[in-house]
């Protein structure tokens, strides 16, 4: 064990974590940034004296249980967690599960993508954050319960799941999602959220069971083409880019259109309309014809520049945590549970 480097690493990580990040009151009498030693010790469930000796490079070699507790208390990324284990002379343990917290930088990026639908999911396809354009394209999940924000759950249990799974493209996507869920279950075998999702889907969806029993495993990367029908702006052909957020068990999903294409023009219109014209949850895409785009253009022209300007005002990206406990940012993703779009 390299006690000196281990101590330096603990001190540097402790200074990075703000009290509010772990649910503690910040107070006004802090002389240094980050957490106090006693706060880290309390979060990790170890004595203050024991933790102090670790930071002073004079403590005993910590057990794997203590290392895991310190990694959680200091909110270490996967690479940092592995480094902590290496410094202690241990083989890194697998992370307990994907992070539920979207990095602040990614939330800022979602805010800046004001003309591009984008959202963040974790490895079990739970929607964690979304921007205004994603909400306009897919429907705003802010009022949805947590289970409703899971793409795989919606694929197999939504109101229109039978019709969706009868479509070859949707069925292929569903099979891909199940294969990725199996890979996630192997990567995070102790994650309760993944285990619960698999158990609940197995109990209510024979289609899921059929896919699960095929034992396929895959991890999706790169660009795919998505065909989405929006009830207001019509049929869209979008490039879907899935970017891995290393160390978090999360992915950033971005939809874009070829410059100058009809879909690009439709997205511009959608950016003006916003969520005010997006379909409510349960919109039956099979039974209703979308209005002609030019009618919406005429309506916008009648409404005038003032309404267009207010509709295009930037709405901060929302996270699923904020939707339940409002102050932050986040918005939508696709769901086959009855919305008028297809998933990721």
Question: 132 and 36: one domain?
Answer: no
Out of 87, 116, 143, pick the residue that ends a domain.
Answer: 87
pLDDT value, residue 212: 95
Task: Kindly report the CATH number assigned to the domain that includes residue 40.
Answer: 1.10.260.40
pLDDT value, residue 203: 96
Question: 281 and 217: one domain?
Answer: yes
Query: Could you please report the per-residue DSSP string of 190-242?
Result: T-HHHHHHHHHHHHH-HHHHHHHTTT------EEEEEEEEETTTEEEEEEEEE
- Residue recorded with tokens 């199996």: 182
Q: Say if 204 falls within a structural domain.
A: yes
pLDDT value, residue 275: 59
Between 75 and 116, name the one with better pLDDT.
116
Out of 34, 54, 87, pick the residue that ends a domain.
Answer: 87
pLDDT tens, 13-64?
888 887 776 667 666 676 777 888 888 888 888 899 888 989 888 888 888 8
- 209 confidence band (pLDDT: 50, 70, 90): very high
The number of beta carbons lying within 10 Å of the beta carbon of residue 204 is 11
pLDDT value, residue 181: 95
Please name the residue ranges forming H helices in the chain: 3-16, 37-44, 48-55, 64-73, 78-87, 104-112, 132-138, 151-157, 161-166, 168-187, 192-204, 206-212, 262-273, 293-303, 305-311, 320-324
Range of the domain at 63: 3-87
The CA distance from 307 to 336, in Å, is 31
Look at residue 262 and tell me whether its pLDDT is greater than 70.
Answer: yes
Tokens of 111: 């805010």
Task: Kindly report the CATH number assigned to the domain that includes residue 202.
Answer: 3.30.450.180
Look at residue 246 and tell me whether its pLDDT is greater than 50.
Answer: yes
Quick one: average pLDDT of 112-126?
A: 91
Look at residue 321 and tell me whether its pLDDT is greater than 80.
Answer: no
pLDDT value, residue 102: 82
Question: 112 and 48: one domain?
Answer: no
Q: Say if 155 falls within a structural domain.
A: yes
- 332 confidence band (pLDDT: 50, 70, 90): very low
Question: 256 and 293: one domain?
Answer: yes
Tell me what the pLDDT averaged over the chain comes to. Answer: 76
Q: How many domains does the chain have?
A: 2
pLDDT value, residue 317: 59
Look at residue 311 and tell me whether its pLDDT is greater than 70.
Answer: no
Residue 14 and residue 71 in contact, taking contact as beta carbons nearer than 8 Å: no
Q: Which residues contact 243 (CB under 8 A, 6 or more apart)?
A: 251, 252, 253, 254
Question: 59 and 127: one domain?
Answer: no
The CA distance from 179 to 311, in Å, is 40
Question: 68 and 154: one domain?
Answer: no
pLDDT tens, 58-82?
888 888 888 888 888 888 877 788 8
Q: Long-range pairs for 293-301 at CB < 8 Å and ≥24 separation?
A: 293/233, 293/234, 293/266, 293/269, 296/232, 296/233, 296/269, 297/269, 300/269, 300/272, 300/273
Between 170 and 253, name the one with better pLDDT.
253
Look at residue 247 and tell me whether its pLDDT is greater than 50.
Answer: yes
Rounded to 5°, the CA angle 69-71-73 comes to 70
Q: Say if 315 falls within a structural domain.
A: yes
């Amino acid at each position: 064990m390299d006690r000196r480097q281990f101590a330096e690493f603990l001190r540097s990580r402790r200074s990075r974590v703000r009290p509010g990040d772990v649910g503690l009151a910040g107070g006004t009498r802090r002389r240094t940034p980050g957490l106090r030693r006693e706060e880290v010790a309390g979060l990790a469930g170890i004595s203050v004296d024991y933790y102090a000796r670790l930071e002073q490079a004079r403590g005993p070699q910590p057990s794997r249980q203590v290392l895991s507790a310190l990694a959680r208390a200091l909110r270490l990324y996967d690479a940092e967690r592995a480094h902590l284990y290496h410094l202690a002379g241990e083989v890194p343990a697998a992370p307990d599960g994907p992070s539920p917290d979207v990095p602040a930088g990614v939330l800022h990026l979602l805010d800046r993508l004001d003309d591009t639908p984008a959202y963040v999911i974790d490895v079990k396809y739970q929607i964690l954050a979304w921007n205004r354009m994603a909400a306009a394209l897919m429907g705003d999940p802010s009022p949805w319960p947590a289970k409703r924000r899971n793409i795989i759950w919606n694929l197999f249990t939504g109101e229109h799941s039978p019709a969706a799974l009868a479509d070859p493209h949707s069925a292929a996507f569903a099979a891909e999602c199940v294969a990725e869920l199996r890979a996630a279950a192997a990567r995070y075998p102790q994650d309760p959220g993944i285990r619960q999702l698999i158990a609940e889907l197995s109990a209510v969806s024979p289609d899921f069971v059929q896919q699960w029993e095929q034992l396929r495993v895959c991890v999706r990367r790169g660009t795919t083409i998505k065909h989405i029908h929006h009830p207001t702006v019509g049929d869209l052909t979008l490039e879907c880019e899935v970017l891995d957020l290393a160390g978090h068990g999360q992915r950033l999903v971005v939809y874009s259109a070829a410059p100058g294409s009809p879909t690009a023009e439709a997205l511009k219109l959608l950016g003006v309309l916003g969520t005010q014209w997006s379909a409510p949850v349960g919109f039956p895409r099979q039974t209703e014809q979308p209005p002609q785009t030019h009618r919406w253009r005429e309506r916008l022209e009648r409404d005038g520049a003032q309404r267009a300007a207010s509709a295009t005002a930037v709405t901060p990206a929302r996270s699923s945590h904020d939707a339940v406990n409002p102050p932050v940012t986040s918005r939508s993703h696709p769901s086959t549970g009855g919305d008028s779009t297809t998933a990721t």
